[in-house]
Homo-oligomer: A and B are copies of this chain.
Amino acid sequence: MSSYTPPIEDMKFLLGSVLDYDARIAALPDWDEVTAEFAGEVLNEAGRFAADKLAPLNLPGDEQGASLADGLVTTPTGFPEAYHAYVEAGWASLSGSPEYDGQGLPRTLQILLDEIVSAANVSFGLFPGLTSGAAEALAHHGSDELKAKWLPGLVTGTDCGAMALTEASAGTDLGLLRARAEPVGDGSYKVTGTKIFISSGDQDFGNNVVHLVLARLPDAPAGVKGISMFLVPKFLKNEDGSMGARNTMSVGALEHKMGIHAQPTCVMNYDEAIGWLVGEPGRGLNAMFTMMNKERLFVGIQGLGLAEAAVQKAADYARERLQGRSADGSRAPVAIIEHADVRKMLLTGRGFTEAARALATWTAMQMDVASRHPDAAVRAEADAMVALLTPVIKAAFTDMGFETTVIAQQVFGGHGYIHEWGMEQFVRDARITQIYEGTNGVQAMDLVGRKLALDGGAAFERYVAGIEADIAALAGNQLLESHGEALADAIAALRRIVAMLVENKGDVSALGAAATDTLRLFALVSLGWMWLRMMRAAQGLDTPLAQRKQQVGAFFFARMLPQALALAAQVEAGPATIMAMDAELF
């Protein structure tokens, strides 16, 4: 069985040859030494760590699973040591704020690290992933006192973080949540309630767990405006900063899930647990969204990472497995990678993963620009692009990521269904990414209902205008011009649909009926853009990687982009046939 090989060469190609990283990111304040070359070295190390320490725990971790006994969570063998090594090596603090002991490296590196860790062991990756998300929310909304007390632990990873939103009757609709918080009088609160689906809710690493919990203050209004956020740690902190008394919160159960078995997904009971308000009363959802937006990108990257790991294994298997005859009619069995249908499956996977990596990197670069560029207008524009792309990356990368794991499993035939080969685990693990941090249907509504309407639709228009400028620059490029035209057609369809949605922006059913297909079309256009950029950059190079870019890219335009035709026709059919039927008739 092959193991995971981090795609470092591809990442270097993106930074060095496609996305102009040095001019755009290394040129930002304090990052003059964080060049593409330096980034490549960091990623090399990250890749080695993930392949050596995390990937080997993935299949055994799924078999063993996380468990709960006498209120104590046990993670699979090797997880605690791997987590400590991860923190020790500095991976947890890579992009954390230097003010709180982080290394302050660009988000661009972080997102590539996130892909590598997710590919190697997605259950493990949720520990640092949620920890840095909690740090982000606290950094943006916490008081100076709370930040001084709790941020260094979260930023370095010596503490872990978790987000506690969902309740049994309040999932997508958080306005229905019931957990409550009563002021103690000394600035702290007693938080009471039960939360479900809490990833990384507890572990046996010996670390504290800092929960960000949504709850209602006494007399808070109903609905989302009555929700506040509280920092509720597993262990209180002594004056000297050491871990103090155990807080009155406990793990009620671990969820029995389809996948990510190594992850302790907790039912959490808070029983007058001591906590502190983060941000303004009634602004909890706003504070949580800082964390959620970061996590949504992270989840999209999980979809990408799982797809990359799965398609790598499928390609290796397809090169080794001998079945059937070659197309030239000779009698000896051939490797199944010679069969057109198997190639088509692998190319479909690669057509997604390579362009998705490029788009994720481009988006992370926008995040870096938004945080450090000296010009406020440039920062604002970059921020708008991140906002626009966040639901697309979350939903499309996890939908296409899941589909890719299914394709990769299919390459293995019957063996794909057997646990020991590891392919069915990818499918089970990937499935959650379409659901958590806001289902993909919620992401699609975010795109069509909010993001496409940013700046009255101008942000979207600037985004596609940027793509069109790249297409226009291909004039005379014999290899790529026709692909540019195909992409321009898809953009025209997308623009037509966005205009229709803007016109109907008060009509929730019209938006809902269009949402998922519009998001997928938006993603196809964006992936096509990245293929054009990669193919153009590869034209100057004579390497196996450059050859692969031309060939996978050509496949994308011939065999994946046509999907845009169907999506556009489906959206343009409107909501009538969706809304007509009586609920009882379904």
**Chain A residues packing against B (C-beta within 8 Å):** 166, 169-173, 175-176, 196-197, 223, 255-259, 315, 318-319, 322-324, 327, 331, 333, 335, 337-347, 350, 402, 406, 409-410, 413-414, 416-420, 424, 427-428, 431-432, 434-436, 439-441, 444-445, 507-513, 515-516, 544, 547-548, 551-552, 554-555, 558-559, 562-567, 569-570, 573-586
Contact = CB atoms under 8 A, between A and B. Distances in A.
Given A344-B513, A350-B586, A419 B554 contact: no
Given A256-B418, A558-B570, A577-B555, A586 B323 contact: no
Given A173-B323, A424-B431, A579 B419 contact: no
Contacts of A512: 327, 339-341, 344
Contacts of A577: 347, 551, 554-555, 558-559
A166 to B, nearest CB: 6
Most chain B Cβ neighbours within 10 Å, of A323, A419, A552, A582: A323
Contacts of A323: 170-173, 176
Given A339-B441, A547-B582, A565-B565, 20 more contacts: A166-B414, A171-B323, A171-B413, A173-B324, A176-B322, A256-B418, A256-B419, A258-B419, A318-B583, A327-B512, A340-B509, A340-B512, A341-B444, A341-B515, A344-B512, A347-B586, A413-B439, A552-B581, A562-B565, A566-B566
Contacts of A511: 340
- Most chain B beta carbons < 10 A, residue from A350, A410, A564: A410
Contact of A563 (B197, B259, B343, B566): B566
A321 to B, nearest CB: 9
A547 B585 contact: yes
A363 B318 CA distance: 35
Nearest to A346: B586
Main SS class of interface, A: helix
A256 B420 contact: yes
Contacts of A432: 417
B424 A513 contact: no
B583 A338 contact: yes
A331 B222 CA distance: 11
A504 B516 CA distance: 37
B257 A417 contact: yes
Nearest to A259: B417
Contacts of A580: 551, 554
9 contacts: A172-B324, A257-B424, A258-B427, A318-B586, A319-B586, A338-B583, A339-B512, A551-B585, A563-B570
Given A176-B323, A515-B341, A544-B585, A578 B258 contact: no
Contacts of A172: 323-324, 413
A580 to B, nearest CB: 5
A209 to B, nearest CB: 20
A573 B581 contact: no
A416 B428 contact: no
B579 A343 contact: yes
Nearest to A257: B417
A515 B578 CA distance: 32
Contacts of A508: 327, 340
A347 to B, nearest CB: 6
Contacts of A417: 255, 257-259, 431-432, 435-436
B327 A414 contact: no
Contact of A513 (B256, B340, B428, B586): B340
A518 B510 CA distance: 32
Nearest to A223: B331
A441 B342 contact: yes
Contacts of A509: 327, 340
Contacts of A339: 441, 512
B562 A573 contact: yes
Nearest to A419: B256
A479 to B, nearest CB: 13
Contact of A435 (B331, B413, B428): B413
A582 to B, nearest CB: 8
Contacts of A570: 558-559, 562-563
Given A341-B516, A417-B431, A424-B431, A559 B583 contact: no
Contacts of A565: 562, 565-566, 569
Contacts of A347: 577-578, 581, 586
A487 to B, nearest CB: 14
A343 B434 contact: no
A544 to B, nearest CB: 6
